[in-house]
Chain A
Amino acid sequence: DTAVSQTPKYLVTQMGNDKSIKCEQNLGHDTMYWYKQDSKKFLKIMFSYNNKELIINETVPNRFSPKSPDKAHLNLHINSLELGDSAVYFCASSPLIPGLADEQFFGPGTRLTVL
C-alpha cells in the first residue's frame, strides 16, 4: 500500500537511553517532516527535509538528530532520553509543487514513553 509508515508504533524506554524511530514514505514526495504531539494534542513541528536536505529545524534540543539517507526515509534519533520527551511523534510527507503548498500525509504515529 502507498503510505507513510513508522516503526515502532510504541516505544517504552528508560531515561538516559538512546532510541530511534524510523519513517518511510512510498508516495514519491520530496518533503518529509517530524512532529511532536504532546498530551494536550498540541502538534509542534520539529524538522523538515526536502530531498534529503534539512530545511526546517525548530527549537529542538540537539539530543534530537534527524537523518535522511534518501528521499523516501527520514529517521529520528534521540539521545539521552528525558521524561519530557514522552509524546506521540508523527512523520509526514508532502509533494513539493512550485508556488503551491499541498497537503501532508501523516504516518500512524509512534507513542514514546520514557520511564
Chain B
Amino acid sequence: AQSVTQLDSHVSVSEGTPVLLRCNYSSSYSPSLFWYVQHPNKGLQLLLKYTSAATLVKGINGFEAEFKKSETSFHLTKPSAHMSDAAEYFCVVSAVGNQFYFGTGTSLTVIP
C-alpha cells in the first residue's frame, strides 16, 4: 500500500532563509515521488519528481528534494525563500498503474 505523510501542516520562514518541507512515504513498490505547489486560487503545478534516477532532484524555482530510501523520506528544500514561494505544497507518491496518493499539504508562509 502507498501513503504519504507531510509532517508539518504549516511552516513559516523569513524571506531569504532556508525552506524545509518534510515528507515521509510508504510504498510497497519502488515509488515515484512528486512535489506540487498550489498558489492561492490556482491549480497545482509540478515542482519536481523522482522516478528512480538521481536521488537528488532539482526542480523549478530553486527547489530541490532528496530521495532517501533508508529514511523513506522525500523532503523539499530551498536555500533562500522568496515572497512568491508562499503557497500550499503537496507531496505525492505513486506506484505503477497511475494511482497517486496525496499528502495533506503544507502551507508555507514567507515573512518579509
Are B44 and A90 neighbours in the complex by a CB distance under 8 Å? Answer: yes
Total interface residues on A, CB under 8 Å, equals: 26
What count of chain B residues pass the 8 Å CB interface test? Answer: 24
- Interface residues in A80-96 by Cβ distance below 8 A to B read 90, 92, 94, 96
B107:A50 contact, CB within 8 angstroms: no
Q: Which residues, 55 to 103 on A, are CB-close (under 8 Å) to B?
A: 55-56, 90, 92, 94, 96, 98-103
With a cutoff of 8 Å between Cβ atoms, the chain B residues found around residue A104 in the complex are: 34, 44, 46, 100
Set of chain A residues within 8 Å of B98, measured between Cβ atoms: 31, 48, 50, 55, 94, 96, 101-102
Judging by beta carbons under 8 Å apart, are B96 and A99 in contact?
Answer: yes
Cβ–Cβ contact B105 & A102, under 8 A: no
Measured CB to CB, the nearest residue on chain A to B2 is A101
Q: Mark B31-58, 1 if CB is under 8 A from A, else 0.
A: 0101010100011111001010000000
Residues from chain A with a CB closer than 8 A to the CB of B32 are: 100-102
B99 contacts which of A48, A100, A107, A108 (Cβ < 8 Å)? A48
Q: How far is the CA of A13 from the CA of B7 in the complex (A)?
A: 37
B interface residues with partner A (beta carbon < 8 Å): 32, 34, 36, 38, 42-46, 49, 51, 88, 90, 94-100, 102, 104-105, 107
Contacts A/B (CB < 8 Å), 5 sampled? A43-B102, A45-B100, A50-B98, A56-B99, A100-B32
